Amino acid sequence: VDAATQRARADTLRQLHHGAGALLLVNAWDVASALVVERAGFPAVATSSSAVASALGYPDGERIGAGEMLAAVGRIAPRLRVPLTADMEAGYERDTDGLATLVGRLIDAGAVGLNLEDGLDPGTGQLVPLAEAVERVRVVREAADAAGIPLVLNARTDVFLEMTHDRDTALDEAITRLGAYRDAGADCLFPIGARDPATIAVLVRELSFPINILAGPGAPSIRELETMGVARVSLGGGPQRAALATLARIGAELREAGTYQSLQGGLSHQELDDLVAASWRDGPTG
């Protein structure tokens, strides 16, 4: 992917946050899953860090390390015709120089957007201090702009996820944090764990900015989220875990009944092979 194409993809991804409907992201975990999502007609693809990590054998939470995560992104991005945004957890690198370097590596891998979460400070068990989290958003913004690729930055706060606050203060803390990330250069704000309509409505109203909601069974429908003004909806690790449940069903049926009904309706070998081959322009790299 040359720089002009990559810039154009970043612009496309950014515009998708300001369209008539929400940007819908079915998170992928490897090349085949990303190609299936692209073929389904989505205008962009996102990775799920937990899904990429589990596919490669790592528990969630930055155990995978930047190198393997970037390698996974680098396998996927060049195969797509649509923009790829990568879930980069809390950025892997603790110091801001390292984080700026990571942004360059992410651009080299072909991504045009990223998720960056605040997460817990391992020292205190509390969320990373606001000033530090804001500084990290700013560093990513500046590093991307300096590199000439306007990465779409989805800044996530884990306040609803980590239960570091009670119900009454969590929403205020989320608004404070996300507003600060917005002002530091984020393109979209991600209050992961915010799921009830009342909370989502307050966040959209108070932040006046594109909001990403993590959806799945029990969440408001896309139509309801769009009516509330949500700009982006993603599914996180849910698609991979549903795919793995299909695998578990295939196994249970094989052992218990000795039959193959759960394999019905799969892609054909030819269909998957054609999909991968069409994306495969260069020789083996391994």
Task: Kindly identify the residues of this chain, within the stretch 194-213, that bind a copy of itself according to CB under 8 A.
Answer: none
* Window of 25-33, 119-127, 190-198, 205-213 that interacts with a copy of itself by CB under 8 A: 25-33
Comparison of 122 and 265: residue with beta carbon closer to a copy of itself: 265
Q: Which stretches does DSSP call E strand in 218-278?
A: 232-234
* Residues in region 133-172 near a copy of itself by CB under 8 A: none
Comparison of 131 and 217: residue with beta carbon closer to a copy of itself: 217
Q: Please give the Cα distance from 45 to 34 (Å, whole number).
A: 7
**Tokens 């804001």 map to which residue?**
134
* Residue 98 in contact with a copy of itself, rule: CB under 8 A: no
First-last CA distance in the chain: 19
DSSP assignment string, 18-63: GSSSPEEE--B-SHHHHHHHHHTT-S-EEB-HHHHHHHHT--TTT-
* Window of 29-37, 139-147, 162-170, 191-199 that interacts with a copy of itself by CB under 8 A: 29-37
- Judged by CB under 8 A, the residue of 3, 15, 65, 196 near a copy of itself is 65
Which amino acid belongs to residue 210? P
* Residues in region 77-96 near a copy of itself by CB under 8 A: 79
- As measured in angstroms, the least distance from the Cβ of 161 to a copy of itself is 11
* Window of 31-39, 105-113, 191-199, 201-209 that interacts with a copy of itself by CB under 8 A: 31-39
Strand-by-strand arrangement of the 113-117 sheet: 45-46, 84-87, 113-117, 152-157, 188-191
User: What x/- string results for residues 257 through 286 when contact with a copy of itself is judged by CB under 8 A?
Assistant: xxxxxxxxxxxxx-xxx--xx-xx--xxxx
* Residue 247 in contact with a copy of itself, rule: CB under 8 A: yes
* Residues in region 227-246 near a copy of itself by CB under 8 A: 235, 237-246
Residue 131: CB partners within 8 Å, gap ≥ 6? none
- As measured in angstroms, the least distance from the Cβ of 85 to a copy of itself is 16
If we measure between CA atoms, which residue out of 139, 36, 150 comes closest to residue 91?
139
- As measured in angstroms, the least distance from the Cβ of 77 to a copy of itself is 11
> What radius of gyration do the chain's Cα atoms show?
19
* Residue 252 in contact with a copy of itself, rule: CB under 8 A: yes
* Residue 215 in contact with a copy of itself, rule: CB under 8 A: yes
Q: Please give the Cα distance from 269 to 266 (Å, whole number).
A: 9
Comparison of 61 and 129: residue with beta carbon closer to a copy of itself: 61
Q: Please give the Cα distance from 215 to 207 (Å, whole number).
A: 20
